[in-house]
Structure 1
Amino acid sequence: MIPSNPAVPPQPDLHNHPRPALEATPSCSWLGASIDLREVDSTNAFIRRLLEGDHQGLWPLPVAVWTGRQRAGKGRGTNFWWSDAGTLTFTVALDPAAQRLRLDHLPRLALACAVAIVDVVEPLAPQARWTIRWPNDVEANNLKVAGILPERFATPCGDRLALGVGLNVSTNWNHAPESVRRMAASVESIRGTVLADQERRDLASRLLERLVARLTQLADDHPDLAERWDQLDQLKGNRVRIRQGERVLEGVGGGIDPTGALRLLTADGSIQSIVGGVVERNPPHG
């Protein structure tokens, strides 16, 4: 735990446990504080409680929470995120104004993070086909390797953004639900060999470095970032079925536009820009 402020910040549910080997606190000057937890319900939920209770703004931002195990990892909507000690699991909370992030940037936050993850993992397994499954997953060879959960919430000191990341590095699937084993993979399983000790130690630091770089590009509206997430779009040219509540949209993926919307080419020849919904895996052919 590294708060640089001499005052003692609030510490809800903070356990003084040794940190897991994979979760060693990375060196990154961008972070104002970093918290290591052996176990937590959810890093997003923890950091939200932390900052919602921080009425004096004692925690320097950005602040990161790392854990070796989540009991109730969150996914999009009602989904859950299964992980173990071989999963790099963390949440970074930041002040959007301090990072020059506008409201219209928020739908693109997960995409920018996904690009940062690919920046780091692709060199570790260059033989794989690394892609982004819109709106918030990173895949290798059509298997899910990472998930991202961005959330915006209010605190006594202003609005904050939480960016939750789960990256399967050396995940052991023996105890995972069958539904997870069918569609997920780890960096090491995709690579075919274990990571070297130094590669494991450097992984979190390198990911934070790339995240800072990609968030800076997002704030600058740099065209290279949008070009990169469009290049990595896993749905482009494939049949897509999207559920928006009771509504179902079908068509062919037409890329991810600079606003972060998914282009959907429909049967009547129109192009729809999709900004939300659940993309079904293996949609039925019609």
Structure 2
Amino acid sequence: MLSPPRRPRPLSTEAPARAAERRVYRSLTSTMDEAARLVREGERGPLWLLALEQTSARGRQGRPWAMPPGNFAATLIDAPEGGPMEKAQRSFVASLALRDALAEVAPQAHLSLKWPNDVLLSEGKVAGILLENFGPALAIGIGVNLAAAPGQGDLPEGAVRPVSLLQETGVAVSPEAFLDRLAPAYARWDARLVAEGFPSIRDAWLAAAARLGQEIRARTPKGETRGRFDGIDARGSLMLTTPAGPVTLPAADVYF
């Protein structure tokens, strides 16, 4: 195990398409931590940060995020226009970009998108997305199980099992090579959001949505709601039809 440097220095820097800089690090506590540090120093992006090792990665709500060797961990720093709603819509942009990048390296893969921020491969979780606002900038954290799936531990009932790209498809790809696909895919979908608005992104996301029209469970701090997954609204909120009528949830954990 490599110890993260106190002030990490990138191993390499290059400029992918759309003028988004890229920095690759040998080891970080997390790419989100590095993004927060850079934003404090004035960075506004667009800038991709890729770590080959993370020692203290986290997912939604501060949950630990395991990163076996060979997996993908990156954060995009950007400063898109608009308020909190427009920034939150970048989660759907990232989902679509991940789907495209995975389909490019593994055309035979069966991929779907799970609300609010997961990508499924053969109905197992292969990738997750985390958005955090750092004042003037937005950080979009992305983790992908390229080489290995973390241990399942004590998964809640109905939780999606973790899988890896290599395990499910036999395709081996390095984190750097995967970023070669992901960065331009994200730039394309982000440009579409800016040019056409969220309805275009919403339609594309729904076309790949997992369990659309089926019963799911949505859990919030206030309790659990069961209902038919009817899609997402104009803000990106989850839409359910329950025995008590329609329900819209801006945030929740979804279980199948």
Q: Which AA in structure 2 matches 1:134?
A: W
Query: Which of 225, 238, 251 is equivalent to 1:249?
Result: 225
Task: Give how far 1:180 is off.
Answer: 8.4
1:19-98 correspondence runs (5 A): 27-31=15-19, 33-52=21-40, 54=41, 57=42, 59=43, 61-97=45-81
CA distance in 1, matches of 2:51, 2:91: 20
SS at structure 2 position matched to 1:83: coil
The CA distance in 1 between the partners of 2:44 and 2:239, in whole Å, is 39
Structure 2 letter corresponding to 1:39: S
Rounded to whole Å, the distance in 2 between the matches of 1:83 and 1:117 is 18
Q: Is the 8 A contact 1:39 1:70 kept in 2?
A: yes
Q: How many angstroms does 1:249 deviate by?
A: 1.2
C-alpha contact 1:68 1:84 (8 A) present in aligned 2: no
Partner of 1:6: none
Of 112, 124, 136, the residue aligned with 2:93 is 112
Question: Equivalent pairs: percent with the same residue?
Answer: 24
Aligned-partner Cα distance in 2 for 1:113–1:193: 21
1:103 aligned to which of 59, 84, 96: 84
Aligned residue number for residue 163 of structure 2: 185
Q: Distance in 2 between matches of 1:177 and 1:169?
A: 14
> Which residue of the partner structure matches residue 118 of structure 2?
137
Partner SS, residue 111 of structure 1: helix
Alpha-carbon distance between aligned partners in 2 of 1:13 and 1:64, rounded to the nearest angstrom: 20
Shift of 1:60: 6.0
Listed as ranges, the gaps of 5+ residues in structure 1 are 1-11, 20-24
Q: By how many angstroms is 1:202 displaced?
A: 3.9
TM-score by length of 1: 0.77
The letter of the residue matching 2:50 is W
Query: Does the CA contact (< 8 Å) of 1:14 and 1:37 recur in 2?
Result: no
Long gaps (5+) in structure 2: none
Paired with 1:128 and 1:33, the residues of 2 have a C-alpha distance of: 29
Deviation at 1:264, TM superposition (A): 0.6
Do the aligned residues in 1 keep the contact of 2:44 with 2:79 (CA within 8 Å)? no
TM-score normalised to structure 2 length: 0.85
1:180–1:116 distance in 2 versus 1, CA, 3 Å? farther
How many residues align? The count is 247
Which one has a bigger Cα radius of gyration?
A: 1
Aligned match of 1:170: 147
Q: Secondary structure at the match of 1:116?
A: helix
Pair 45,246 (structure 1): closer, same or farther in 2 beyond 3 Å = same
Q: Which residue identity lines up with residue 172 of structure 2 in the other structure?
A: V
Shift in CA distance, 143/107, structure 1 to aligned 2, threshold 3 Å: same
Deviations 1:62-114 (A, max 9, x none): 122110111121111132211123112110111123xxx44321232111100
Q: How does 1:4-19 map to 2 (within 5 A)?
A: 13-16=6-9, 18=11
